[in-house]
Amino acid sequence: MNTQKIIAPLLMLVCFWAAGCSVKKEDTPVQSQQRTQLQEQQRIAAQTAQTYKAMDNAALLQKLSEQSARQKEPFNSLAYRELVTRKDVDSGSLVALINGKKNGDSLLPLLLLRKLDEKTYSQIPVEVRASVLTDALQRSKTFNSWGLPNFYLEDASKALLECGKSADPALRRMLSDTRPAPVFGGKEHMVYERYKYRLCDYALFFLKRIQGDAKFELPMPPSDRDSLIKALPM
């Protein structure tokens, strides 16, 4: 048998197959436009991050205050994300921002101080901390800053639970507020769609935990949560 006559066509077939596999499929016009838009968004995001990195602490604290008043989440605040990496942030400046408003507008400075300087944070009267946190909760339009009861809690929720009974009166006032408490994000929004969280549900969850029920979880049917709200001791 002439092996060369067999091998040669096989080699040609292999080369043809390899060449065909290496051909890159061209993007459609829509895909090309989407790719360009994504690249531009990434470029702007990287450029903005570098701008914040170049700022001094005073400028960043100003940005932090502005973004807090706009109800930016910690993970969506470029000022917070940059400041939390720095070791030379003046705790006194954060305290001044908190005391200057003592409401939900100073949520980000409060959470940043809790992260960077626990000792100074603990010296802020618990009533002030509770006022900032409960006001921010009540005014929230989306609730990603708080997490998802039964699943995970963000720093704002943990700080609120630390306030204990100081948060009780404000939370009780929220028990009658049934407006939706939506969250964004793929998986988070799916959980929200299952539970249909409301502001009163967050208040119920925090109150039960503060009252000592460390394992309390919200039942899925809203009617069951309404029954628990009615049964709360006044």
Domain boundaries, the chain: 51-124, 125-234
In this predicted structure, what is the pLDDT of residue 46? 77
Q: How many CA atoms lie within 13 A of 92 on its CB side?
A: 0
In this predicted structure, what is the pLDDT of residue 6? 41
Encode burial over 189-206: b for 16+ CB neighbours within 10 A, e otherwise: eebbeebebbbbbbbbbb
* Nearest alpha-carbon partner for 201 in 143, 114, 156, 159: 143
**Mapping DSSP to helix (H, G, I), strand (E, B) and coil, where does residue 126 land?**
helix
In this predicted structure, what is the pLDDT of residue 41? 65
pLDDT one-digit tens code per residue, 151-172:
999 999 999 999 999 999 999 9
In this predicted structure, what is the pLDDT of residue 195? 97
Q: Is 200 within 8 Å of 174 (Cβ atoms)?
A: yes
In this predicted structure, what is the pLDDT of residue 88? 97
* Nearest alpha-carbon partner for 63 in 36, 83, 43: 83
**pLDDT beneath 70: ranges in the chain:** 1-25, 37-38, 40-42, 44-45
In the chain, how long is the greatest CA-to-CA distance?
98
In this predicted structure, what is the pLDDT of residue 40? 65
Alpha-carbon gap, residue 94 to 110, rounded angstroms: 7
